[in-house]
Amino acid sequence: MEYYTGVKQKGTLEISELLTQAKPGQKVKVNGAVHTIRDMGTVAFVILRKREGLLQGVYEEGTGDIRLKELKEAAAIELEGILEENEKAPHGIELRMEKVRILSEPTDEMPPLAVSKWKLNTSLEAKLNYRSIALRNIRERGKFRIQEGLVRAFRDFLYGQGFTEIHSPKIGAKGAEGGANIFKLDYFHRPAVLAQSPQFYKQMMVGVFDRVFETAPVFRAEKHNTKRHLNEYTSLDFEMGYIDGFEDIMAMETGYLKYAMEIIEKDYGNELRLLDLTLPNVTRIPAMKFSEMKELISEKYGHQIRNPFDLEPEEEMLIGRYAKEEWDSDFIFVTHYPSKKRPFYAMDDPEDTRYTLSFDLLFRGMEVTTGGQRIHDYRMLTEKLKARGMSEEGMEQYLDTFRYGMPPHGGLGIGLERLTMKLVGEDNVRETTLFPRDLSRLKP
Amino acid sequence: MEYYTGVKQKGTLEISELLTQAKPGQKVKVNGAVHTIRDMGTVAFVILRKREGLLQGVYEEGTGDIRLKELKEAAAIELEGILEENEKAPHGIELRMEKVRILSEPTDEMPPLAVSKWKLNTSLEAKLNYRSIALRNIRERGKFRIQEGLVRAFRDFLYGQGFTEIHSPKIGAKGAEGGANIFKLDYFHRPAVLAQSPQFYKQMMVGVFDRVFETAPVFRAEKHNTKRHLNEYTSLDFEMGYIDGFEDIMAMETGYLKYAMEIIEKDYGNELRLLDLTLPNVTRIPAMKFSEMKELISEKYGHQIRNPFDLEPEEEMLIGRYAKEEWDSDFIFVTHYPSKKRPFYAMDDPEDTRYTLSFDLLFRGMEVTTGGQRIHDYRMLTEKLKARGMSEEGMEQYLDTFRYGMPPHGGLGIGLERLTMKLVGEDNVRETTLFPRDLSRLKP
């Protein structure tokens, strides 16, 4: 019988520990994957890939009992050596190698992609086919570290604002957003669907916790094959009660974005440098009505309005350009979307019921958030369902919740992969999706 | 055009703000749901339900322009009044009501469940049928606040240990755990499955980030109808590279559990008091081999061993009892499970290949975690697949990852709902699942 008491301290150090806890001249031990070996005859540079970045090992012929020929690229090793400063090396340090212990060896030394290059010069298709290898390139993986910062900041910010985290089911009897874009499955011989959003659940939970959020996958069986659509993505959702108006939702999102940029600046500086990124300024985000915005870009850029009820991707781009040129902002809230383009639960604007108390957030010319106030009155909700010719079937418990009282409330959903994509400057959402699911891609 | 600059300060206060930022005698404003009204004629107590707990309002006839008769239970209101101390009231404070503003009114005043009672005396069936109402009972909702603490601690602890958070797809071509327990769906006219676990993805990402975790739903089409099984649950998963052995995984989990109990003690004290809970001691967790453990409980409790390859629920209970009686521990690691009961990727024990370098964690007599070391050598992995008569189809990219080098690694998966259930002392996992999915339940 043994006892476990917690994490054991290891003899090996991470890069940040080498920089803060060790001194030049000191003997240290590290582990990592052999990223690349540059053999110059009597001297060689062995570059280790560690989770915090690259670390340079320097081999000199005849040192210790290291046999360089036996060291393979892509092996996992433990390395012992003397820490030294070298401003040309990554992080300004290197290790004079004294001992190597091989932890695991590759079967094939030659990966299908040259991951040790600074830029992975290959097609998106190839990167996705060899995803687990492609992401070993440190700039490729850096995008997903930034993504972590975005979702981590979302939760931490909302915990601080009194939100409770929920976990709603992904298999259900009915989709919240309606329409045909629903994946269907057989659930023990009963028809079921995959959740398009946690909308019904987070609203129901507003009556319980006042403020809730969820960060989870959602599923859309859309047959779009574009650079901005995925059939499965991670949605950052929140819903809050006791709002004075849908402006509270936009104010909360602005607060989140400010906080996220602070966290990324503070904790993901390595990745910002790797990717050479400048974070957007979110001191203030302008907001403008949908119909006014349409006219403004039509006037300024001579754009012809074809669909008065929705924004085309090209219009989103022009609005983003307008926001940058006129208000020096990478973000813009477009408010008061037409009612016929919003789901039944959206609250209509009492001043003009053709529009809703809703908004999209555009980031560098692309929609990354949809949100707004919801109907909280049972009668208003069921009447709107009826007016749209929709059935109440499958949403009895959702609707019943409103009978027994609900505060005025609203919320939003943010597409994590899109937000990451615009932040890191990619133009295809698959670049910032770990394992994308689209019309043609179901593996790996 | 307007600008948004972040969260607006509201005039209303939360309970913790009343306790720290306001003084007795001060006029304050709060909002909340009318949980219950106790009308005693000229005086009435109006109990508000807020996210941090209950708050007592005291109404005296003739005060201001309040008409008590117009105030309905389950309404959402804003209340203005004088803060006073009252040690008999919740949190030791109450509000002498001066003004009431009704934000939203219920259609039906009489909820299907008496949620304002201290204990919600009704069947599990009724609670689940009216989930969004049942959870308005503050003890019912308290369990899910504790659940939040568990998952929040999991992420925060692992961030601190250098893990990166990942989001793996839930729709895929092949299940990681094999077997028949897989939900199938049609993916644009191609067969697809719902993920039983993020196993393949987190292993592939160990080669990228060294240490990764995910907190996300998993799907099991098991036809079990028991108190401990769900067909969809939230799995807390991690996977870490550069381990010296599978003991590192158990040490990491022990560290997590310690941290979780500290966070819950510190930040969820209200809920611990509501539910009258004592947290388990996790100073040290004993570990014992599977086969030895079987014999020990057989000897001590006269239990007859029927299946030498797996633990029956009754055996888990006896092991839990043994751990409590012999080592005064609510937790116990059972190690070295038989190879034939573990998936193909489990690392066999080189000292006795009938067993694996794996473990389960039992908490108060029930399995809440399965983990262990994985095979990191390509040849060993493909040979084990062959020996089991399994096909490589659908896992080409997973297997290929091992060709190009992988560090020794291992990980675990924790069932969040089960962990919560045992922590809050429930005996059915549906009690600690927000919206359970089982053989018969697909709604709400």
Residue B246: which CATH number? Answer: 3.30.930.10
Contact call for A76 and B219, based on CB within 8 A: no
A40 and A153 assigned to the same domain: no
Q: Are residues A312 and A403 in the same domain?
A: yes
A337: DSSP letter? -
Of B85, B104, B123, the last residue of a domain is B104
Listed residues B47, B78, B104: the one ending a domain = B104
Considering the domain architecture, whether residues A323 and A367 belong to the same structural domain is answered as yes
Does the residue B340 lie in any domain?
yes
Q: Which residues pair with A80 in a beta bridge?
A: A29, A99
Same domain, A61 and A183: no
The Cα of A41 is separated from the nearest Cα of chain B by a number of Å equal to 25
Cβ distance B46 to B17 under 8 Å? no
Residue A441 placed within a domain:
no
Residues A285 and A393 both lie in one domain:
yes
- Same domain, residue pair A169 and A282: yes
Confirm or deny that A417 is annotated as ligand binding: yes
User: Is 0.85 exceeded by the ipTM?
Assistant: yes
Q: Is A396 annotated as a binding residue?
A: no
Q: What is the pLDDT of residue B45?
A: 96
Instruction: Using a CB–CB cutoff of 8 Å, tell me whether B283 touches chain A.
Output: yes
Q: Which A residues in the span 332-361 are in contact with B, Cβ-Cβ below 8 Å? A: 333
Chain B, residues 220-279, CB within 8 A of chain A, namely: 221, 223, 231-232, 234, 241-242, 244, 247-248, 250-255, 258
DSSP for A138-191, written as a single string: HHHHHHHHHHHHHHHHHHHHHHHTT-EE----SEESS-SS-SS---EEEETTEE
Same domain, A156 and A297: yes
Q: How far, in Å, are B16, B59, B97, B136 from residue B55 at the CA level?
A: 11, 13, 12, 14
Does residue B410 belong to any structural domain of this protein? yes
Q: What is the pLDDT of residues A51-85, one digit of tens each?
A: 999 999 999 988 877 888 889 999 999 999 999 99
In which residue ranges of chain A is pLDDT below 50?
A: none
> Is B110 contained in some domain?
no
Shared domain check, B352 and B256: yes
Other CB atoms within 10 A of residue A278 CB: 7
The whole-angstrom separation of Cα B419 and Cα B425 is 10
**Interface contact flag, B201 A172, Cβ < 8 Å:** no
In single-letter form, the type of residue at position A115 comes to V
Instruction: Identify the pLDDT of residue A179.
Output: 74
Amino acid, res. A83: L
- Three-state SS sequence of A233-290: EEEEEEEEECCCCCHHHHHHHHHHHHHHHHHHHHHCHHHHHHHCCCCCCCCCEEEEEH
The reply to whether A142 and A79 lie within a common domain is no
Per-residue pLDDT of chain B (444 residues; tens, 9 = 90+): 899 999 988 899 999 999 999 999 999 999 999 999 999 989 999 999 999 999 999 999 888 778 888 899 999 999 999 999 999 999 999 999 999 999 999 998 788 999 999 999 899 999 999 999 999 999 999 999 999 999 999 999 999 999 999 999 999 988 777 777 999 999 999 999 999 999 999 999 999 999 999 999 999 999 989 999 999 999 999 999 999 999 999 999 999 999 999 999 999 999 999 999 999 999 999 999 999 999 999 999 998 888 889 999 999 999 999 999 999 999 999 999 999 999 999 999 999 999 999 999 999 999 999 999 999 999 999 999 999 999 998 899 999 999 999 999 999 999 999 999 999 999 999 999 999 999 999 988
* A19 and A158 in a common domain: no
Mutate to test the interface with B, among A72, A131, A132, A421 (most CBs of B within 10 A): A132
Of A194, A219, A203, nearest to A166 by C-alpha is A203
Q: Domains in chain A: how many in total?
A: 2
- Is A430 labelled as part of a ligand binding site? no
User: Residue A262: inside a domain, yes or no?
Assistant: yes
Residues placed in the known binding site of B for ATP: 220-222, 228-230, 367, 415-418
- Does residue B231 lie in a domain region? yes
| Domain extent at residue A24 | 15-104
- In the listed set B104, B119, B151, which residue is the last one of a domain according to the structure? B104
| A2: in domain | no
What values do phi and psi take at B11, rounded to 5?
-75, -15
Q: What is the pLDDT of residue B69?
A: 87
For residue A239, is it within any domain? Answer: yes
For β-strands A43-50 and A53-60, DSSP reports them as antiparallel
Question: How far does the CA of residue B62 sit from the closest CA of chain A (Å)?
Answer: 27
What CATH number is associated with residue A25?
2.40.50.140
Residues B149 and B293 placed together within one structural domain of the fold: yes
In this structure, the dihedral spanned by the alpha carbons of residues A144, A147, A148 and A152, taken in order and rounded to 10 degrees, is: 180
For chain B, say whether A289 makes contact (Cβ under 8 Å): no
Please check if A374 is assigned to a binding site.
yes
Say whether residue B210 is in contact with chain A using an 8 A CB cutoff.
yes
Same domain, B204 and B261: yes
A148 is in an annotated binding site: no
* Contact by Cβ (8 Å): A304, A325: no
